C-alpha cells in the first residue's frame, strides 16, 4: 500500500532506491503527451519506489518559512469564523481547499474562477496598500519604502504558495523597484520583457508551459492596449 507523505520539508536530502523508467509519450496523434508534459518541467524520467526505500533528512530555511506560514494559518483559523477563514485562505494564501465545491462551481460557471487564484491583481493591491501605509502613514521615504517592499514581497510569494502568477507579479515589481532605485526609466513593457527573459534563462523549458504563455500574453495585451482601453472607457461616460 502506498504511503502518503505529509512530513516532507523543503530542502531535505533524500536517498531512494527504485526503478527508473522513461515516461510514455503520446501513442496516437492528438493524445495527451505525458513525456512532453514532464519534459516541459525539466523531468525526463520517473522513479517507482516504495516508502521503505525512501529516507529523508536535513532542513532548509524555506522549510522554516513554510512552517511559519502554517502557524499563522492556524492562528487565523482560531480567531476567524470558518466562512471568513476559507476566503482568507483562498485570496491571501492561495489555498482553495477550504472553499465549498458549490462555491467553486458557481465561480467557474460565471467564468470568475480567476478571482479565486492569486494573481498580479492581488499582488498589486497588497503592494499599493503597503506602500501607502509605509510612505504616507509612517512617513518613510520612497527609497526606503521600495527597499522594504523588495524584502517583503518574496516572503509573501512563499506564503502565497509560490504560484506562477504570483512569482511573475512579484518579480516584475522587484525589477520595477530596482530600476527606480538605480534611476532607470524602464517602461512596464520593458520590465515584463526582462522578467520573461529571466524566467527563460532560469528554466528554458518554461516557454512550453501554457501558464507561462497565457500569463505573459494576457499581460502584454493589457499593457499594449492601454490607450485603446482608456479611450473606450472614457467614451462610456
Cα 92 to Cα 85, 86, 115, 126, 157, distances in angstroms: 10, 10, 11, 9, 10
Comparing 157 with 236, the larger pLDDT belongs to: 157
175-185 per-position pLDDT tens digit? 889 888 888 88
pLDDT band at 7 (very low <50, low <70, confident <90, very high): low
pLDDT of residue 149: 93
Q: Render pLDDT for 28-84 as a digit per residue (tens, 0 to 9).
A: 887 888 888 888 777 889 888 877 787 877 777 777 777 787 788 788 878 888 778
| More confident call, 233 vs 13 | 13
Residue 50's pLDDT is: 79
Mean pLDDT for the chain overall: 80
Strand runs (DSSP E) across the chain, as ranges?
A: 13-16, 19-21, 46-48, 54-57
Distance CA 85, CA 221 (A): 34
* SS3 (DSSP) at 26: coil
Quote the pLDDT of residue 237.
Answer: 47
Strands 54-57 and 46-48: unpaired
Secondary structure of 176-211 as H, E, C letters: HHHHHHCCCCCCHHHHHHHHHHHHHHHCHHHHHCHH
212 pLDDT more than 70: yes
What pLDDT digit, counting tens, does each position of 97-124 carry? Answer: 777 777 778 777 776 666 666 667 778 8
Q: Which residues lie below 8 Å from residue 77, measured CB to CB, with a gap of 6+?
A: 85
pLDDT of 2 > 50? The answer is no
Residue 233 has pLDDT above 70, yes or no: no
| Tens-digit pLDDT profile for residues 116-174 | 666 677 788 888 889 999 999 999 999 999 999 999 998 888 877 777 778 888 888 89
For residue 6, pLDDT beyond 80: no
Amino acid at each position: 500500500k502506498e504511503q502518503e507523505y505529509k512530513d516532507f520539508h523543503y530542502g531535505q536530502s533524500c536517498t531512494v532506491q527504485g526503478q527508473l523508467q522513461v515516461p510514455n509519450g503520446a501513442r496516437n496523434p492528438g493524445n495527451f503527451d505525458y513525456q512532453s508534459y514532464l519534459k516541459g518541467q525539466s523531468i525526463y524520467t520517473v522513479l517507482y519506489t516504495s516508502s521503505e526505500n525512501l529516507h529523508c533528512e536535513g532542513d532548509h530555511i524555506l522549510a522554516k518559512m513554510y512552517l511559519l506560514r502554517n502557524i499563522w494559518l492556524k492562528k487565523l483559523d482560531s480567531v476567524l469564523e470558518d466562512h471568513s477563514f476559507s476566503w482568507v485562505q483562498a485570496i491571501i494564501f492561495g489555498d482553495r481547499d477550504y472553499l465549498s465545491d458549490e462555491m467553486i462551481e458557481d465561480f467557474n460557471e460565471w467564468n470568475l474562477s480567476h478571482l479565486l487564484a492569486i494573481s498580479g491583481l492581488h499582488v498589486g493591491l497588497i503592494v499599493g496598500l503597503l506602500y501607502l501605509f509605509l510612505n504616507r502613514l509612517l512617513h518613510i521615504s520612497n527609497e526606503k519604502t521600495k527597499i522594504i517592499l523588495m524584502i517583503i514581497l518574496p516572503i509573501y510569494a512563499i506564503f502565497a504558495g509560490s504560484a506562477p502568477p504570483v512569482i511573475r507579479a512579484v518579480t516584475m515589481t522587484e525589477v520595477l523597484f530596482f530600476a527606480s532605485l538605480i534611476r532607470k526609466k524602464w517602461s512596464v513593457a520593458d520590465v515584463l520583457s526582462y522578467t520573461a527573459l529571466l524566467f527563460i534563462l532560469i528554466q528554458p523549458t518554461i516557454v512550453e508551459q501554457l501558464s507561462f504563455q497565457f500569463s505573459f500574453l494576457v499581460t502584454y495585451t493589457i499593457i499594449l492596449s492601454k490607450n485603446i482601453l482608456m479611450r473606450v472607457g472614457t467614451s462610456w461616460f
